[in-house]
Amino acid sequence: MFPVARAAQSLVARGIQHTAVRGAHRKHEPTFHDKYGTMVLLGGASMFTAVWGYVFTTLNVEWGISPVGRVTPSEWR
Q: Is residue 13 part of a domain?
A: yes
Q: Is residue 2 part of a domain?
A: yes
Q: Is residue 52 part of a domain?
A: no
- For residue 25, the enclosing domain spans 1-47
pTM exceeds 0.75, yes or no: no
Q: Is residue 70 part of a domain?
A: no
User: How far apart, in whole angstroms, are the C-alpha atoms of residue 9 and residue 3?
Assistant: 10
User: How far apart, in whole angstroms, are the C-alpha atoms of residue 77 and residue 75?
Assistant: 6
For 11-61, what is each residue's pLDDT tens digit? 667 777 777 666 666 667 888 888 899 999 999 999 999 999 998 888 876
Q: Is residue 62 part of a domain?
A: no
| Tally of domains in the chain | 1
Q: Is residue 73 part of a domain?
A: no
Q: Mind giving me the DSSP string for 8-51?
A: HHHHHHHHHHHHHHHHHHS-----HHHHHHHHHHHHHHHHHHHH
Q: Is residue 32 part of a domain?
A: yes
Residues 6+ apart with CB under 8 A from 9: 1
